[in-house]
Chains A and B, each alone.
Chain A
């Protein structure tokens, strides 16, 4: 009995690596510390009532943000481990298996558990405020989305200490990921955690499409809507059309692994190309899901800090919508070299290049937004300015990759790695950081310290170029991606070493951002006006942080840049509030059920990872029960009395 228990534990827990034991200890210590602190400060109830059960879009946004930053840390540590291993030839810092696991978790985490929640954080925090709404269209569903993401991410990260991490890359191509060549539970962790968080993402997509189409303030026609909200609309349309393809790909591969079907094995008539197509039918749009909101942030930031309306608003909207359509039609550029005929490759090459056209237009419009403006080099603006050249080069190398015959030489090489990091870091991450600095005061009521922020900015930026420019050259030298080491004769040592230095510079940049946040919590300048940047859009009309019902009275909008024009006309929110007596506001009640549903999804996922079908069944039954319980619920709203609103508003100087 004891023996078999020991053997089970030997498989169940990941063993044999000092790094892992250290993390085991760290996880236990941190968990204990959190439990202790919460108990000591008597905060359990607060945690449950204020956060775990909340349906407030702003709080959900903040929880997304915290998760994203934690995942950025995890993914960043993965990156540094990889760069350390590659710094010199023939290193044995990581063995091949370990290296394979790390590049897999790095890619998966950065895209699905860092970029996605970071985006959703901004969607949640900003969109309802920007369009003058009290919440998203479906607050309850919004909470479910978050908890599905959260428990999906938890399941994925658990693989580090229990069962073993996935090791077949973030694209997870069969046949490598079929049971015969990848028997461990790691791949199951990948499939199930992405599946669970993916359901949440689809729900978020639907939620924000409806929010934006249906809940804009009176007078805000679509063509008077701020560009960030437009970009969220575009991103969500893509989510809704693209994520189902991922859902199907993951589900079929899971059937292959759990139930012995043959969707993606060539035996018995399956075909891995089906997976590869489905994956990229999602995977390519996914990169635009991530980058379009970053475009939106840049549009807001550049206009605000140039004190000028965004140039070519109509072109900007048209460009977003053109990208939203074209980006579905280009997925096969990820496998030009998998035997497609010349006609197919030529079509996908040209279609891919077309995306460069609207992208180029946007870049020029940003430049001319600054032209004849007054540019303030605040932190958000610095990141936005850094975004432009970096993304322009990334887009240009994208167009180069799209030239199919040239791609035969770039594909799977470090050139490709450089391209997509340039678009994902120089595009998505720079954009999101600009947004983070920009809206931080709105979220927390204080401004992040400039001095530390500038240090972080320079470390991160210089680090970026030092890390990734050498990779273009390494691609021309024939260095393939995903190798855990290389012989010295290749001549790749120098550039790899430089690249590793760059990676560490970026790591320092990240730590400086953390230091900046901690420092500013205590010493950061408080934002008492609610409009620290002299903003243009409605969210800056509100006090920071925003009261939970957002707008005491839904404002009337007559122009683009609504708040800017209100200020120009000497109007204030207080004046709008005074126009008529305030009325009571209906708000959705907090509920613990989305959290509980997330727990059940987690239980189900964990069960299927280990082929414990009984446990999977329990989890799924739990999910169904929470759904039924919700459908029986009638009393889901409460009313904030007018008197309370009046008190809150006058305390905030808005009445």
Chain B
């Protein structure tokens, strides 16, 4: 069974590449971390299952239209009243049921798996992300530094992004690392990602937020642990602090480049969540299945 799956997978992947060409321009097809890889597996697996139905359908269609075309000399059988066959109909109720059954089971399993941090990797790092009009603010609660429109992460460690918005909701997406999650006002939502390689990966706001939306891109720079620590130290030393007034300035609708801050007002993230209606929400529930030790930022 297993080996057949893999054969199928290779086939599926092959057809995907044939369709799209193989290059680093396709971050979704060349993920650099376990989350993106699991999602890619499902993309390929579902493509393959879909192809099992679609390709024969198209082949059959071509064959039938050709063979039974209305030409005077066409010798193919013609049975105008033949309109029922229990066996045939059983077959094509069964095929999709089988395929959907398999895909459904695999999908359900993966959906649960992705709510946990990637297995067998290092100590998780938490980054709080706020979507503003039209820029992204990243805060590192353990390092106490903040950035705008870029984030550095240590390669090989699971990153817990905690997302909110202090503007119309957006969606946080770094295709090379894995799928997206919305950033919504008044809520704190979590997305696990991890980069296994170093490099710079483009991230984007995926959900429409008005005039400056197209410019809401950011960089995620994956570096090794020591470079990460060095970067943190650098930012602490050389960058200005983010004050409350400074944040108010950031909040005004505008498009801007990258920025770094050596510190930020301590509870800024949860204050933002609460201010935007978080007090009505049970944000604890939203992040319930996360490890308890990371809960220290919202024990309200």
Chain A residues with a Cβ under 8 A of chain B:
96-97, 100, 167-169, 173, 175-176, 181-182, 265-273, 306-315, 335, 337-339, 341-343, 345-346, 349-350, 353-354, 356-357, 359-361, 363-365, 367-377, 385, 388-389, 392-393, 396-397, 399-400, 402-409, 411-413, 472-473, 475-478, 480-486, 490-491
Within the complex, the shortest CB–CB distance from B275 to chain A, in Å, comes to 9
Nearest A-chain residue to B36, judged by Cβ: A409
The contact string, 1 if C-beta is below 8 Å from chain A, for chain B 143-166, is: 000000000000000000000000
**A411 in contact with B171 given A311-B83, A337-B179, A388-B61 (CB within 8 Å):** yes
A-B contact pairs, 23 of them (CB 8 A): A96-B213, A176-B168, A181-B168, A271-B281, A308-B79, A309-B83, A315-B93, A337-B182, A339-B286, A349-B104, A349-B107, A350-B107, A354-B100, A360-B53, A361-B93, A375-B69, A396-B53, A404-B110, A405-B111, A473-B19, A473-B20, A476-B27, A480-B173
Which one of B1-9, B201-209, B260-268, B292-300 is at the interface? B201-209
**A100 in contact with B211 given A342-B115, A374-B74 (CB within 8 Å):** yes
The contact string, 1 if C-beta is below 8 Å from chain A, for chain B 13-43, is: 0000001110001111100000010111011
Are A405's CB and B181's CB within 8 A?
Answer: no
* A contacts with B: majority SS: helix
Are B28's CB and A367's CB within 8 A?
Answer: no
**Does B246 lie at the interface of the complex (its beta carbon under 8 Å from any beta carbon of A)?**
no
Are B181's CB and A339's CB within 8 A?
Answer: yes
- Within 8 Å CB of B223, what residues of A? none
Are A392's CB and B97's CB within 8 A?
Answer: no
Q: From residue 51 to 81 of chain B, which have CB atoms closer than 8 A to chain A? A: 51, 53-54, 57-58, 60-61, 64-65, 68-70, 74, 76-81
Are A411's CB and B42's CB within 8 A?
Answer: no
Are B77's CB and A346's CB within 8 A?
Answer: no
Nearest A-chain residue to B60, judged by Cβ: A367
Are A367's CB and B100's CB within 8 A?
Answer: no
- Within 8 Å CB of B81, what residues of A? 308-309
In angstroms, Cα B186 to Cα A408, docked, is: 22
Interface size, chain B (Cβ < 8 Å): 97
Chain B residues with a Cβ under 8 A of chain A:
19-21, 25-29, 36, 38-40, 42-43, 46-47, 49-51, 53-54, 57-58, 60-61, 64-65, 68-70, 74, 76-85, 88-89, 92-93, 95-97, 100, 103-104, 106-108, 110-112, 114-115, 133, 167-169, 171, 173, 175-176, 178-182, 184-187, 189, 202, 204-214, 276-278, 280-281, 286, 288-289
**A406 in contact with B64 given A181-B210, A309-B80, A483-B213 (CB within 8 Å):** no
Are B39's CB and A405's CB within 8 A?
Answer: yes
**A405 in contact with B107 given A176-B208, A372-B76, A374-B74 (CB within 8 Å):** yes
Most buried by A among B81, B133, B211: B211
Given contacts A176-B208, A311-B84, A346-B112, 19 further A-B contacts (CB under 8 A): A97-B211, A266-B281, A312-B84, A339-B184, A346-B108, A349-B111, A360-B95, A373-B80, A374-B69, A375-B70, A389-B58, A389-B61, A396-B53, A404-B110, A405-B42, A409-B175, A409-B178, A482-B208, A483-B213
Q: Number of contacts between A and B (CB, 8 Å)?
A: 290
Q: Choose from B51, B89, B179 the contact partner of A408 (Cβ within 8 Å).
A: B179
Are B202's CB and A478's CB within 8 A?
Answer: yes
Are A399's CB and B50's CB within 8 A?
Answer: yes
Within the complex, the shortest CB–CB distance from A560 to chain B, in Å, comes to 9
In angstroms, Cα B106 to Cα A252, docked, is: 39
Are B175's CB and A478's CB within 8 A?
Answer: yes
Nearest B-chain residue to A315, judged by Cβ: B89
In angstroms, Cα B86 to Cα A314, docked, is: 11
In angstroms, Cα B185 to Cα A265, docked, is: 9
Are B20's CB and A476's CB within 8 A?
Answer: yes
- Within 8 Å CB of A345, what residues of B? 111
Within the complex, the shortest CB–CB distance from B240 to chain A, in Å, comes to 28
Are A370's CB and B28's CB within 8 A?
Answer: no
In angstroms, Cα B89 to Cα A315, docked, is: 8
Are A96's CB and B211's CB within 8 A?
Answer: yes
Are B184's CB and A392's CB within 8 A?
Answer: no
Q: Choose from B19, B40, B57, B89 the contact partner of A312 (Cβ within 8 Å).
A: B89
Within the complex, the shortest CB–CB distance from B242 to chain A, in Å, comes to 24
Q: Choose from B25, B60, B208 the contact partner of A491 (Cβ within 8 Å).
A: B25
In angstroms, Cα B47 to Cα A397, docked, is: 8
Most buried by B among A309, A405, A485: A405
**A372 in contact with B43 given A364-B92, A405-B38, A412-B171 (CB within 8 Å):** no
In angstroms, Cα B278 to Cα A268, docked, is: 10
Are A483's CB and B182's CB within 8 A?
Answer: no
Q: Choose from B65, B82, B280 the contact partner of A308 (Cβ within 8 Å).
A: B82
In angstroms, Cα B84 to Cα A130, docked, is: 23
In angstroms, Cα B208 to Cα A167, docked, is: 10
Are B68's CB and A406's CB within 8 A?
Answer: no
**A353 in contact with B171 given A266-B186, A364-B92, A408-B178 (CB within 8 Å):** no
Within the complex, the shortest CB–CB distance from A483 to chain B, in Å, comes to 4
Are B27's CB and A477's CB within 8 A?
Answer: yes
- Within 8 Å CB of B39, what residues of A? 405-406, 408-409
Are A484's CB and B214's CB within 8 A?
Answer: yes
In angstroms, Cα B112 to Cα A96, docked, is: 39
In angstroms, Cα B214 to Cα A485, docked, is: 7
Within the complex, the shortest CB–CB distance from B70 to chain A, in Å, comes to 4
Are A308's CB and B43's CB within 8 A?
Answer: no
Are A353's CB and B103's CB within 8 A?
Answer: yes
- Within 8 Å CB of A482, what residues of B? 208, 213
- Within 8 Å CB of A353, what residues of B? 100, 103-104, 107
In angstroms, Cα B83 to Cα A343, docked, is: 42
Within the complex, the shortest CB–CB distance from A17 to chain B, in Å, comes to 16
In angstroms, Cα B175 to Cα A475, docked, is: 10
Within the complex, the shortest CB–CB distance from B189 to chain A, in Å, comes to 4
Q: Choose from A265, A308, A374, A392 the contact partner of B83 (Cβ within 8 Å).
A: A308
Within the complex, the shortest CB–CB distance from A468 to chain B, in Å, comes to 13
Within the complex, the shortest CB–CB distance from B23 to chain A, in Å, comes to 8
Are B92's CB and A360's CB within 8 A?
Answer: yes
In angstroms, Cα B287 to Cα A436, docked, is: 52
- Within 8 Å CB of B61, what residues of A? 367, 385, 388-389
**A411 in contact with B179 given A338-B184, A361-B92 (CB within 8 Å):** yes
- Within 8 Å CB of B43, what residues of A? 400, 403, 406, 409
Are B78's CB and A372's CB within 8 A?
Answer: yes
In angstroms, Cα B186 to Cα A372, docked, is: 62
Within the complex, the shortest CB–CB distance from A641 to chain B, in Å, comes to 42
- Within 8 Å CB of A385, what residues of B? 61, 65
- Within 8 Å CB of B79, what residues of A? 308, 372
Are A388's CB and B57's CB within 8 A?
Answer: yes
- Within 8 Å CB of B288, what residues of A? 341
Q: Choose from A265, A357, A392, A475 the contact partner of B57 (Cβ within 8 Å).
A: A392
Are A412's CB and B206's CB within 8 A?
Answer: yes
Nearest A-chain residue to B286, judged by Cβ: A339
Q: Choose from B85, B96, B111 the contact partner of A356 (Cβ within 8 Å).
A: B96
Most buried by A among B38, B114, B186: B186
- Within 8 Å CB of B184, what residues of A? 272-273, 338-339
- Within 8 Å CB of B178, what residues of A? 408-409
Are A478's CB and B204's CB within 8 A?
Answer: yes
Nearest A-chain residue to B77, judged by Cβ: A372
- Within 8 Å CB of B180, what residues of A? 337, 408-409, 411-412
Nearest A-chain residue to B97, judged by Cβ: A357
